Amino acid sequence: MPALRVIPCLDVAAGRVVKGVNFENLRDSGDPVELAKRYYEDGADELTFLDVTATNEGRETMRAVVTSCAEQVYIPLTVGGGIRTVADVDALLAAGADKVSVGSAGIDNPQLLADISAVHGSQVLVISLDLKRSGTPSGFGVTRNGGRQLTDLDAMDWVKQVQDLGAGELLVNSIDADGTKDGFDLELIEKIRAISTVPLIASGGAGKVEHFVAAALSGADALLAASVFHEGSISIARVKAALADAGLEVR
């Protein structure tokens, strides 16, 4: 098993990092470039940059911010939000991204996922899964537009489909847990781990270092968080120390 990765997430709207609860009531958390540099210096293994309003507003991801971040950090940078075509992916990779995260556009046009994987390789394609509890057979449904719209897709069916289309990683965002600081959705992680053949990034709910350990033990390959890192209540070093103390390999 590869070493666990700890990934701060920069949710950006109008050029600023924001954070809310259950994807709502967003509040300002700082400048994305400054935070990216700080997390790089603090030992982050990767960074995820999500333009959380690009899809809903029907515009492109802010490439200038991506370029500025890429110039400050020397670890893998995943960028998502507003990606609709392979040309969008080309532009983001040229701007400095290493991987792209695709959510709503893949639901609308699954062929896009296959095309991205075919052109750039599966290692570039991260599928953003904004999931919440619903009346589907698995108990979890897929949402789109940053969690604003619940689709009729069953989460587990969609996970299987995106893997067949060439997904390289799964970014599993629990909308129910997002911003609550009550812990990652372990049931969701375990269900997806049971059917996933690609790395699983757990997101949503981190509030204590113990939560990161629990998510890793439930099957996550990488652990993503925002609020606790932005606020400084938990450091990346503390997370890695807790994982190591639990006998888990970290970078």
Give residue-wise pLDDT tens across range 119-160.
999 999 999 999 999 999 999 999 998 778 999 999 999 999
pLDDT of 122 reads: 98
Shortest CA distance to 104 belongs to which of 139, 169, 57? 57
Whole-number pLDDT of residue 76: 96
Residue with the bigger pLDDT between 19 and 161: it is 161
Q: Let me know if residue 227 belongs to a domain.
A: yes
122: domain CATH number is: 3.20.20.70
Q: In the predicted model, is pLDDT for residue 1 greater than 80?
A: no
Q: Is residue 136 part of a domain?
A: yes
Instruction: Please check whether residue 64 lies inside any domain of the structure.
Output: yes
The reply to whether 29 falls in a domain is yes
Residue in the structure block whose two tokens are 């996550």: 220
- Count the neighbouring beta carbons within 10 Å of the beta carbon of residue 109: 14
The C-alpha angle 250, 51, 177, rounded to 5 degrees, equals: 60
How far apart (Å, rounded) are the C-alpha atoms in residues 1 and 73? 26
Q: What is the CA radius of gyration of the chain?
A: 16
pLDDT in tens, 37-59: 999 999 999 999 888 665 555 44
pLDDT above 70 for 20: no
Asked if residue 250 is part of any domain, the answer here is no
Element (H, E) at 91: helix 86-95
- CA 203 to chain centroid: 6
| 84-122: pLDDT as tens digits | 999 999 999 999 999 999 999 999 999 999 999 999 999
**Residue 27 has what pLDDT?**
53
pTM: 0.91
Q: How far apart are CA 113 and CA 124, in angstroms?
A: 11
Segments forming the whole domain that contains residue 11: 5-245
Q: Please pick, among 45, 51, 88, 130, the residue that the annotation labels catalytic.
A: 130
Is residue 251 domain-resident?
A: no
CB neighbourhood size of 226 (10 A): 25
In a domain, 155, yes or no: yes
Segment 13-22 shows an average pLDDT of 64
130 classed as catalytic:
yes
77, 101 in Cβ contact below 8 A?
Answer: no
Per the model's pLDDT, the better-predicted residue between 83 and 55 turns out to be 83
Which regions of 14-95 does DSSP assign to beta strands (E)?
16-21, 24-30, 47-51, 77-80
pLDDT band at 64 (very low <50, low <70, confident <90, very high): confident
- Per-residue model confidence as pLDDT tens digits over 170-226: 999 999 998 889 999 999 999 999 999 999 999 999 999 999 999 999 999 999 998
Catalytic residue of the set 11, 51, 88, 154: 11
Domain count, the chain: 1
Angle 142-129-216 (CA atoms, 0-180°, nearest 5)?
125
122 located within any domain = yes
Q: Residue 98, SS3?
A: coil
